[in-house]
Amino acid sequence: MSAIESVLVENRVFPPPAAAVQGARISGMEAYNALCDEAGKDFNGFWARLARENVVWNKPFTRTLDESNAPFYKWFDDGELNASANCLDKHIGTPTENKTAIIFEADDGAVTSITYKELLARVGQFANALKAQGIQKGDRVIIYMPMTVEGVIAMQACARIGATHSVVFGGFSAKALNERIIDAGAVAVITANFQMRGGKELPLKAIVDDGIAMGGCTTLRSVLVFMRTPTACAMVAGRDKTFDEALQGQSSDCAPVPVGAEHPLFILYTSGSTGKPKGVQHATGGYLLWAKLTMDWTFDIKPADVFWCTADIGWITGHTYVAYGPLAAGATQLIFEGVPTWPHAGRFWQMIEKHQVTVFYTAPTAIRSLIKAAETDEKVHPKNWNLSSLRILGSVGEPINPEAWMWYHRNVGGERCPIVDTFWQTETGGHVITPLPGATPLVPGSCTLPLPGIMAAIVDETGKDIPNGSGGMLVIKRPWPSMIRTIWGDPERFKKSYFPEEMGGTIYLAGDGAVRSEDRGYFRITGRIDDVLNVSGHRLGTMEIESALVSKTDLVAEAAVVGRPDDLTGEAVCAFVVLKRSRPTGEEAKQIANELRNWVAKEIGPIAKPKDIRFGDNLPKTRSGKIMRRLLRSIAKGEAITQDTSTLENPAILEQLAEKL
Ligand code: WT7
Centroid of ligand 1 to alpha carbon of 397 (angstroms):
4
Residue 661 — very low, low, confident or very high, per pLDDT cuts 50/70/90?
A: confident
Q: What is the rounded CA–CA span in Å between residue 25 and residue 195? A: 39
Ligand 1, atom 1: closest residue by C-alpha: 425
Average pLDDT over the chain, rounded to an integer? 96
User: Does 2 have pLDDT greater than 80?
Assistant: no
Interface confidence, given as ipTM, is 0.99
Strand (E) or helix (H) holding 494? helix 491-498
Please give the average per-residue pLDDT across 360-373, as a whole number.
Answer: 96
CA-closest candidate to residue 320, choices 393, 266, 262, 391: 266
pLDDT at site 621: 87
pLDDT at site 8: 54
Please give the average per-residue pLDDT across 44-59, as a whole number.
Answer: 98
If one compares 5 and 198, the residue with the highest pLDDT of the two is 198
Over the Cα atoms of the chain, what is R_g? 24
DSSP string for residues in 575-606: EEEEESSPPP-HHHHHHHHHHHHHHHHHHT-G
Residue 454 contacts residue 36 (beta carbons within 8 Å):
no
| Residues sharing a CB contact under 8 Å with residue 218, sequence separation 6 or more, in sequence order | none
The reply to whether 379 sits in an annotated binding site is no
Assign residue 627 a region (left: φ > 0; alpha: ψ between -120 and 50; beta: otherwise).
beta
pLDDT at site 1: 40
Q: What is the rounded CA–CA span in Å between residue 189 and residue 332? A: 28
Give the mutation target among 423, 442, 524, 571 for probing the ligand 1 site: most ligand atoms within 8 A of CB.
Answer: 423
- For ligand 1, is residue 424 a contact (CB within 6 Å)? yes
pLDDT at site 24: 97
Residue 321 contacts residue 311 (beta carbons within 8 Å):
yes
CA-closest candidate to residue 442, choices 10, 9, 14, 6: 14
Residue 651 — very low, low, confident or very high, per pLDDT cuts 50/70/90?
A: confident
The reply to whether 285 sits in an annotated binding site is no
The reply to whether 556 sits in an annotated binding site is yes
What ranges make up the beta strands (E) of 184-272? 188-192, 194-197, 200-203, 222-226, 240-242, 259-260, 264-270
pLDDT at site 6: 52
141-192 pLDDT, tens digit per residue, is 999 999 999 999 999 999 999 999 999 999 999 999 999 999 999 999 999 9
Ligand 1, atom 18: closest residue by C-alpha: 399
Centroid of ligand 1 to alpha carbon of 398 (angstroms):
5
Ligand 1, atom 24: closest residue by C-alpha: 397
- For ligand 1, is residue 434 a contact (CB within 6 Å)? no
Please give the average per-residue pLDDT across 401-417, as a whole number.
Answer: 97
User: Does 553 have pLDDT greater than 70?
Assistant: yes
The reply to whether 448 sits in an annotated binding site is no
Ligand 1, atom 12: closest residue by C-alpha: 398
Ligand 1 atom at minimal distance to the Cα of residue 427: 22
User: Does 515 have pLDDT greater than 50?
Assistant: yes
User: Does 652 have pLDDT greater than 90?
Assistant: no
- For ligand 1, is residue 511 a contact (CB within 6 Å)? yes
Q: What is the rounded CA–CA span in Å between residue 610 and residue 545? A: 8
How long a stretch of residues is the chain?
A: 661
Residue 358 contacts residue 390 (beta carbons within 8 Å):
yes
- For ligand 1, is residue 89 a contact (CB within 6 Å)? no
Give the mutation target among 421, 424, 484, 512 for probing the ligand 1 site: most ligand atoms within 8 A of CB.
Answer: 424
Please give the average per-residue pLDDT across 121-134, as a whole number.
Answer: 98
Please give the average per-residue pLDDT across 226-255, as a whole number.
Answer: 98
Centroid of ligand 1 to alpha carbon of 312 (angstroms):
15
308-347 pLDDT, tens digit per residue, is 999 999 999 999 999 999 999 999 999 999 999 999 999 9
The reply to whether 216 sits in an annotated binding site is no
- Could you tell me what percent of the chain has a pLDDT over 70? 99
Strand (E) or helix (H) holding 511? strand 508-516
Residue 72 — very low, low, confident or very high, per pLDDT cuts 50/70/90?
A: very high
pLDDT at site 282: 99
pLDDT at site 238: 96
592-609 pLDDT, tens digit per residue, is 999 999 999 999 999 999
User: Does 510 have pLDDT greater than 70?
Assistant: yes
pTM of the predicted model as reported, rounded to 2 decimal places: 0.96
User: Does 554 have pLDDT greater than 90?
Assistant: yes
Strand (E) or helix (H) holding 286? helix 285-297
pLDDT at site 630: 87
| Residues sharing a CB contact under 8 Å with residue 543, sequence separation 6 or more, in sequence order | 273, 274, 275, 531, 561
Ligand 1, atom 14: closest residue by C-alpha: 425
- Cα torsion angle, 467, 469, 475, 479, sign: positive
